[in-house]
Structure 1
Amino acid sequence: MTSSPSRRIAVLVSGSGTNLQALIDAQNTPALPNAQIVLVFSNRKAAFGLTRAAQAQPPIPTGYLALQPYLKAHPGYTRDDYDAEVARRVLEARPDLIVLAGWMHVFAEGFLDLANAASVPVINLHPALPGTFDGTNAIERAYEAFEKGEIAHSGAMVHRVVKDVDRGEPLVVREVPLTKGETLEEFAKRLHAVEWEIIVQAAKQVLDEAVPIPP
């Protein structure tokens, strides 16, 4: 039994938070040992991920800041100022790892510079394979490409976050085949199940590098 303090995770979400739920369920289990989610942060007030955090046992602290209200309240400020403010609020939780789990906002230097200065790794879940379908609507675009006969499989990955969208170093990559006659909804359901596995796997991998558990 180790007496080391929990490794601290901040999770950023924009939507329903199913990937967050996978992390909540895995914390302090063999899949994600000595790990505690210390903050769930969203750019959307109605994100159900915030509700998941509040309903967790014990409840997880939450934070919220949306881009347009922030810019309206701060005339002359830029998107980069917003990114930096999000970074400051997230870093106040003293995370050892920041996980973007369905976070639908592209960070630039304002966020990444502060995270890097604090030596806090940032990883992102993306529902496509490296170098394919970067950006939004990746699942729909992959399905459309399959229907046109352009691809036979897609997949999901967790990668380190860099300025270029979905171009950071892949950490965990999993292929997901597409099946003739399958609906988009059926394919998406199978792919999401893979996402829930690899986001936990990647979080453990990066935490083990950044904050190893003493023997």
Structure 2
Amino acid sequence: MSIEISVLISGSGTNLQALIDAQNEGKLNGKITQVISSSDTAFGLTRASKNNIPTKTHLLKNYYKGTTKDQIEIRKEKREQFNKDLANLIINGSIDSTVSNYKSPNLIVCAGWMLILSPTVLEPLEKEGITIINLHPALPGAFDGTLAIDRCWKAGQDGEITKGGVMIHKVITEVDRGEPILVKELDLKKGETLEEYEDRVHKIEHIAIVEGTNKIIKELTNNI
């Protein structure tokens, strides 16, 4: 059985490109069947299209139209609707109906998806048996959430830690706290610029995203 993969992105899609390259080289043990982006200007959409991979966009800004930032409760409701619709988009192929001949993925890979996946998204996917993994540019238990690369680099320069790295982990409600699938460490170098460290992180990310995806695919295949 072939494992079908949906990739979630928000930006340039360099990690998506690593997965596409691995697929084109026969080194990805599943098939990327769609890419969903939270931004309609994400270059990752172009990367997918160039490789004949179907794309969809799911834009939070569309849900917030007509509201202001001080309308907190209304925006919470809009965000919850966005989350419900994202789950439907993944499971059924559309936010409001089931698309004929659509097959939901076995695996979701978050490769630079910049929005938190709430229980409103995660619980329906779990019921459908869809596994979700995420790439995070920090070691387990360290620098959860945003700006992880910057925070890790600063801690290294301040002498607080000597190791950074990246991990692929299962997605749960707690941000970046899911079970690690793959961890790759990097030595932190005194005097290294943030840009230099960031470059090293991105290079190892491109390796980790493929290895971690293949590792979870093997686990899923063994459980079928």
TM-score, shorter chain, exceeding 0.5: yes
The CA deviation at 1:201 is 1.1
- Give the counterpart of 2:60 among 67, 71, 79: 67
Q: Residue 54 in 1 paired to residue 64 in 2?
A: no
Q: Residue 197 in 1 paired to residue 192 in 2?
A: no
Q: Quick one: which amino acid aligns to residue 19 of structure 2? A: L
Q: Aligned partners of 2:135 and 2:66: how far apart in 1?
A: 31
Q: Is the 8 A contact 2:10 2:114 kept in 1?
A: yes
Q: Which segment drifts farther, 83-92 or 191-200?
A: 83-92
1:120 corresponds in structure 2 to 130
Equivalenced residue count is: 207
Q: Which segment drifts farther, 202-211 or 7-16?
A: 202-211
1:82 corresponds in structure 2 to 82
Q: Aligned partners of 1:55 and 1:111: how far apart in 2?
A: 29
For residues 93-112 of structure 1, the aligned pairs below 5 Å read 93-112=103-122
Q: Aligned partners of 2:111 and 2:215: how far apart in 1?
A: 16
User: Any unmatched runs of 5+ in structure 1?
Assistant: none
Q: Aligned partners of 1:171 and 1:30: how far apart in 2?
A: 22
**Residue identity (%):** 45
**Corresponding residue SS for 1:104:** coil
The CA deviation at 1:31 is 3.1
Q: Aligned partners of 2:222 and 2:24: how far apart in 1?
A: 14
**Corresponding residue SS for 1:46:** coil
TM-score by length of 1: 0.90
TM-score by length of 2: 0.86
Q: Quick one: which amino acid aligns to residue 189 of structure 2? A: T
Q: Aligned partners of 1:127 and 1:158: how far apart in 2?
A: 9
Q: Residue 177 in 1 paired to residue 170 in 2?
A: no
